[in-house]
Amino acid sequence: MSRWHVGPAAKPPTQQGSNRPGILPCQGGSLSDSPKVRANDYPFDPICVGQPQTFPEPFVQRADSSQLQTTNLDSEVRLGFAHRVRFTRDAFDLANPALRDVFGGDSDIATRRAVAFIDSGLLQATEGEIANRLRAAFTAGGRSLPQLVEIVAIPGGETAKESHEIPDIVLQLVNHHKICRKSFVIAIGGGAMLDAVGYGAAISHRGVRLVRMPSTVLAQDDAAMGVKNGINRFGKKNFVGAFAVPYAVLCDEVLLETLPDAVYRAGFSEAVKIALLKDPAFFERLERDAARIASRDGAVANPAIRRSAELHLRHIIDGGDPFEANEARPLDFGHWAAHRLESMSAFSISHGDAVGLGLLLDCRYSNLKGWLSDADFARIRAVIAALGLPMRHALFADHAALLAGADEFREHLGGKLTVTMLRGVGHGFEVHELDHALVRQAAVELS
């Protein structure tokens, strides 16, 4: 029998517990009886913990066995979504058809409305020019584009995901501008604000159309490809969120030109991750081009971003698990520790840097386990170093806090712990337990 009993407010009160409407007070036990609930985390009145609730009258009239029948209408829901993903250069150049093309599938586009959200980092780096160019492109696009009703600046970086504030701003503007499900939210920025604005779009009217224009390397080579939106809560990454397929993703390489070096380079950790899992030839290209990529040579960096995006996209589309119902999540290779390092650092370590560190940890662990050869581990270290990513972090010294990340990761995915490890370049596989002593050894070396 469940230890939690929730019933209508009209049931008779008992001697202790809550007077809150709609919640049955407890007959016995207390909040502290529950091993799962600690008072500090849980500022609400207990519903009922401890002794099972008894009612003076039966809550449900007992049926005789002939009435206990179930009608089974089980069905399979098959969903088909278009996932429009385009890479271009200078989407707001009036001669570039890319912007009109992404909206071109809707014959009533002239009647639609759009509200645009721009990452404040991008806005500052372009001294507001990005907003002017967006406005000019929509004006010139006339009836081939939706009517752009407002442009709003959104704080960039992880702060965008720290509270419900950004999704709430999206909700308010969707309401204010009467953005219907056929109309658009346009988000232009880094992965964090795309996640937060995307979540606001996903919950407005249960989903208005979202057009993402990612403006960081990481957002173009990974984050914007996915169908995930969300914000952080309880100090945990992506605790709140929704799966929703965007209406379109338009990646513009011009947007990357104003990125600070560290943000630019950090995004290539996701390219290393996907190359290690799925494409040894791509990994060899990264090895060869890493120094040029770190010095922002677009001739090699932009194709690498596109290849990484394509591999992420193919996994999401063809991998058979776009909404992550399975326990295995290969795209989260290196991420159990990465997410933990981000939250341990109060999000001062960027996601890209944390993924690089998380990859180093899991590759060294694979090496210590005897799965990954010394030579392959040395290649992986070398490519991460040549890309200019951090190679160690003091927070690795806090083993206990780090290892708690594995449990958090398991809880987020559901089911049993499933972490990707490496047998060689292009050969990831799943494990269901971690040898804590070896994780500690790998972490000590990286601290």
Ligand X SMILES: NC(=O)c1ccc[n+]([C@@H]2O[C@H](COP(=O)([O-])OP(=O)(O)OC[C@H]3O[C@@H](n4cnc5c(N)ncnc54)[C@H](O)[C@@H]3O)[C@@H](O)[C@H]2O)c1
| Cβ atoms of 268 and 292 closer than 8 Å | no
User: Which amino acid appears at position 175 of this protein?
Assistant: N
**Residues in 193-252 that interact with ligand X by CB under 6 A:** 193, 195, 215-216, 218-219, 222-223, 226, 228, 237
Among 17, 25, 141, 157, binds ligand X (CB under 6 A): 157
Distances from the Cα of 131 to the Cα of 112, 124, 150, 260, 363, angstroms: 20, 10, 10, 20, 42
CB of 109 or CB of 275, closer to ligand X: 275
Residue with smaller CB distance to ligand X, 98 or 313: 313
Candidates 26-34, 107-115, 192-200, 437-445: pick the segment binding ligand X (CB under 6 A): 192-200
Q: C-beta of 243: minimal distance to ligand X in Å?
A: 10
Side-chain half-sphere exposure of 150, counting CA atoms within 13 A: 16
Which residues, including other chains, have CB under 8 Å from residue 368's CB and lie 6 or more apart?
438, 441, 442
Residues in a beta bridge with 433: none
Choices 11-19, 285-293, 300-308, 350-358 (CB under 6 A): range interacting with ligand X: 350-358
Q: How many CA atoms lie within 13 A of 297 on its CB side?
A: 12
The residue from 85, 114, 122, 439 that contacts ligand X (CB under 6 A) is: 122
* Min separation Cβ 410 and ligand X, Å: 18
Q: Which is nearer to ligand X, 46 or 214 (CB)?
A: 214
Contact segment (CB under 6 A) with ligand X among 156-164, 175-183, 397-405, 434-442 equals 156-164
Residue 273 sits in the site that holds ligand X (CB under 6 A): no
> Given the complex with ligand X, which of 224 and 425 has the nearer CB atom?
224
- Minimum separation from the CB atom of position 215 to ligand X (A): 4
Cβ proximity to ligand X, 269 vs 367, nearer residue: 269
**Contact status: 190 vs ligand X (CB under 6 A):** yes
Closest CA to 439 of 425, 416, 419, 423: 419
User: What is the C-alpha separation between 140 and 107, in angstroms, rounded?
Assistant: 18
Q: CB 211 → ligand X: shortest distance, Å?
A: 15
Q: Should residue 31 be labelled a site residue for ligand X when binding is judged by CB under 6 A?
A: no
- By CB under 6 A, tell whether 116 contacts ligand X: no
Under the criterion CB under 6 A, does residue 125 sit at the interface with ligand X? yes
Nearer to ligand X, 195 or 376 (CB): 195
Query: Rule CB under 6 A: is residue 351 a binding residue for ligand X?
Result: yes
Q: Is position 322 an interface residue for ligand X (rule: CB under 6 A)?
A: no
| Interaction between residue 353 and ligand X (CB under 6 A) | no
Amino acid at 249: V
Closest CB to ligand X among residues 23, 275: 275
Q: Mark the segment that binds ligand X (CB under 6 A) among 38-46, 74-82, 115-123, 422-430.
A: 115-123
CA dist 143 and 89 (Å) reads: 23
Whichever of 48 and 123 has its CB closer to ligand X, that residue is: 123
DSSP string, 195-227: HHHHHHHHHGGG--EEEEEE-SHHHHHTGGGSS
With respect to ligand X, which residue has the nearer C-beta, 192 or 443?
Answer: 192
Residue 91 binding ligand X, by CB under 6 A? no
Q: Considering beta carbons, is residue 222 or 279 the nearer one to ligand X?
A: 222
Q: In this structure, are residues 350 and 358 in contact, taking their beta carbons and an 8 Å threshold?
A: no
Q: Indicate the Cα dihedral angle 413, 415, 416, 420, nearest 10°.
A: -30
Q: What residue has token string 């002239």?
A: 110
Q: Please state, in angstroms and rounded to a whole number, the distance separating the CA atoms of residues 12 and 15.
A: 10
Rounded Cα gap, residues 196 and 185, in angstroms: 12
Distances (CA, A) of 260 to 121, 216, 294: 10, 10, 12
Specify the stretch interacting with ligand X by CB under 6 A; choose among 107-115, 121-129, 170-178, 433-441.
Answer: 121-129
Q: In angstroms, rounded to a whole number, what is the distance separating the alpha carbons of residues 80 and 438?
A: 44
Chain position carrying tokens 């971003």? 305
The type of residue at 236 is K
Interface ranges with ligand X (CB under 6 A): 119-122, 125, 156-158, 161, 189-193, 195, 215-216, 218-219, 222-223, 226, 228, 237, 255, 258-259, 263, 267, 350-352
